[in-house]
Structure formats: structure tokens, C-alpha cells
Copies of this chain bind each other. A is one copy, B any other.
């Protein structure tokens, strides 16, 4: 796509695939609203008081239908919003169109190049005069990363006149980040520092993004307060677990139509994501084998009748391979060469480097046959057998299907809204330092409570004497902080 910003008739900026898909997007948005009771309850509770009046929010988070409901919840609470996706394949073009036309500045489409991706991220942070956003909604930490790297480069440039050198890194994506920052220095050598000044804080919702934040906190380089939304119970134990349990088979079926029953499926990692994937595959009739480094998680899998082996043990016997680790180099090209013909390889963990895509792409004589977008068959020259790689090694549930369903995302996103409100309301109080915080348990419980009515649940209430007996307030919080659910 030609990388130029477009404008709606009302003057709002955007760049999406096709604005004409806005009507379709709107219809699906309306369906999703019914499935997202937490977000709709936020609109009801907070909408009238317009708490985000005057707040600029930039979001870097998969531009899906569910995210669209989040965006319109933020605008319903008074915010001005700019948005980009945090994954080159995860945008839903009709969702982006509806938001661009109706609600917020969006820069996102399905199938961005990496250059386009970072251009979109820049646009999302670019609020014109007066610096950047007040608040960031982040997923994976790319918006946060760009600002931190930008500030670092500006300070170095001021000090030594040195500009970032894209050739200093082997990582092709980081090359692009450095290029953008280098080029930015020419026009405004204090852009990211001005952003930093204005920024009230970020709320981040992935395991990986959160880990980056804790590392920055420890090294003392974190530039603004952060709320770790990922570790809300109603996020990590719901979105990661039940979301993946839904969207892994969805992605597999849309991409390959393969029968899961009877197959041998290997799930690499048995954290929340891996637990969801293994449950889904098992229930669909696959025989599941898990690989793990952590003996506790391994023992949990065993208690569910799941075998724990190494990838090497089963690489030539399994039919489906799923990475869920958040680590890198899980499935290497050398593993892929040994797989059965048409074995399916996919990632639902974090970055595409869980699968050795680079090793695969550069394997001598390998042939790539695109069955359809996001479904490629790679044929090895020696054996003429092929493997099927989904979403080019990126998140297969977003690349090949539509990601997690609305209901579970409503839990995650209600946490995001509450975190954003908390940061914004306390912006002047000094409550939040340049550290990483989790939401208090009573808010976590509130998120859950907002989702019970839709499912027809009726909670029991403690009596006064029960409350006294177990020393738990009638209104909660009901558990100690360490409780594991």
C-alpha cells in the first residue's frame, strides 16, 4: 500500500484496507457488543461522567472487532483515540474500517509488511503538536519499545551526535525500528522525549510485554508508570486459557480443514496458553503430547493423562505441532525436515521466532507453495515431503481465524479500561511511580462479576457470621493475593 495518511470527511486520519467494509464491520461490532458485557457495563457506569474527557489514548493492539468495541468504550468515556495493530496479520479490515469511519484514527490492515507495521505504529503515536498520547494501551509492548528506544537515541544524539545504526543488529525487525528513529532524529530530535513527558502511563496485556516492563523496572530504565493487565486473573487465566482453547482449533480448521480427531498433536509449553491448546486438541479427539521445561507444569499435564516427551522424541510421529512458549527456537528447521508429510506447524505463543522461519526460508532448495493466504506448504528437496506452516509462524489464531472470541476478550479489555481509568484518575496524585503495578483483587473480581449475568449465573452471598468466621469481607476480595485459582 502507498503509505500516505487519509482523512475522513470529518478530518480524522486513517489508513485502512477498504473503508467500504465499514458497514459490515458495524454489523459485527453490534453482535460483539452483546457478547462483551464488561465493556458495555463500563459504558453504562462511567459514560455519563466522561472520565477520559481530554485524554489522548494510543493503542497498539490487534485491530479486531473486539478491539473495536474496546476503542468505542474508550471514546464513549470521553477519550480521543489513535490505533494501530500489534501484529501484521491480525487486523480485521472491516473492523478497522468501521472504527476509522465512525470513531477513531486507525492505521492497520491485514497483511502489513514490517515496514508498514512500524509506519502504522509511528502514526498511532503521532498526535501532532503538543507531543504524543496521554495513555498507551499496549499488547506486546511495541509502542512502549518505540518510545523507549526513541528517547535513548535522542539522548545519545544530544550527548554524542551519534545516530542509531540499523546495521548494528541482525534482527530484521529491529533494523526497521532503528531506521525509523534515525530518520526521525533529522526532523525532530526531541519527539520521543516530548512524548515521554506527556505520558501518564501504559497498560500492557501480554506475558511478553509485561516481562519487558519488569526488566526495565529492574534496570531502572522504565520511563513511565505501567499497569500489568496480563496478571489480572480475569486476563491470564481466561484470555490465555479459554481464549486459546477456542481459537486454536478455529485457526486449524479454517486454515487446513484437517480432522483433529485421531491425530497426534504436540503442544510445546503447558502454561495457560498451552493448557488451553492441549485441552482443545484433546477434546477434539487428538492424542496430545506436551513438551515442557518446568517440572510443575509437566506434572500438571501428566495428571490430565497427557504424555510429556521432548520434541525430538516425537518429531517424526506427530501430525500437528503448536508452539505456546513465549520463548524462541522451539521448532527448528532441522525438526521440520524430519516431520511427516503435511504435518502442520503453527505458533500461538508470542513472536514468530518460536518457529525457525528464517531457517526454513533459507533452507537450500526448499519450495514454498501458498495454498491460500496464511497457509503455506513448504516442500523439502530431499524427501519431497512437505509441511504446512500457518500464518508464516505468527499467531495462527489471529492470522488464520479471528482471534479470541468476544466474551473472553471482554474480560481482558475491561481490565484495560479499568487500568486506563486508574492511571488517568491518579495522574496527578503521585500514586503511580515509574514502576509496574497489578490491579487490586477487588477490581479483578469486579471484572468477573460483570460477566456473570450474561451467562445466567447466580452468586451466593456470605452471611455476616460466615464472613466473620473466615475473616473475609462479604463484598470481597475473597482471596489472598497469592491465590492461584
Contact = CB atoms under 8 A, between A and B. Distances in A.
A431 interface: no
Tallying the copies of this chain within the complex gives 4
A264 B463 contact: no
A194 interface: no
A211 to B, nearest CB: 7
Contacts of A190: none
A464 B451 CA distance: 43
Closest 8 CB pairs of A and B: A259-B405, A283-B283, A308-B457, A295-B448, A259-B407, A295-B449, A294-B478, A484-B484
A389 to B, nearest CB: 13
Given A242-B285, A459-B293, A258 B445 contact: no
Given A284-B246, A452-B308, A302 B369 contact: no
B452 A295 contact: yes
A284 B243 CA distance: 11
Interface in A408-423: 408, 411
Given A246-B260, A253-B401, A470-B211, A479 B294 contact: yes
Interface of A: 24, 27-28, 31-32, 34-35, 65, 211, 214-215, 231, 233-234, 236-238, 242, 245-246, 249-250, 253-254, 256-264, 272, 282-288, 291-300, 302-311, 313, 317, 326-329, 341-342, 369, 371-372, 377, 388, 401-402, 404-408, 411, 438, 444-446, 448-449, 451-452, 454-463, 465-466, 469-471, 476, 478-482, 484-485
B257 A402 contact: yes
Nearest to A450: B295
Nearest to A461: B293
A341 B65 CA distance: 19
Nearest to A388: B31
Given A262-B303, A293-B461, A297-B485, 7 more contacts: A242-B285, A246-B259, A246-B284, A262-B455, A282-B305, A308-B455, A484-B485
Contact of A35 (B237, B258, B455, B480): B258
A455 B258 contact: no
A406 B282 CA distance: 19
Most buried by B among A233, A262, A388: A262
Contacts of A258: 35, 405-407
Contact of A463 (B257, B297, B329): B329
Most buried by B among A305, A404, A406, A452: A305
A27 B445 contact: no
Contacts of A234: 296, 299
B329 A294 contact: no
Nearest to A407: B259
Given A250-B253, A253-B246, A455-B262, A482 B231 contact: yes
Given A293-B478, A451-B299, A237 B484 contact: yes
B299 A469 contact: no
A414 to B, nearest CB: 12
A406 B257 contact: yes
Contacts of A300: 237, 485
Contacts of A295: 445-446, 448-449, 452, 459, 476
Nearest to A370: B27
B485 A371 contact: no
Contacts of A482: 231, 438, 481-482
17 contacts: A31-B371, A31-B377, A35-B342, A233-B484, A237-B296, A237-B300, A242-B285, A245-B284, A246-B261, A249-B249, A262-B299, A293-B461, A298-B452, A298-B459, A308-B458, A311-B460, A328-B470
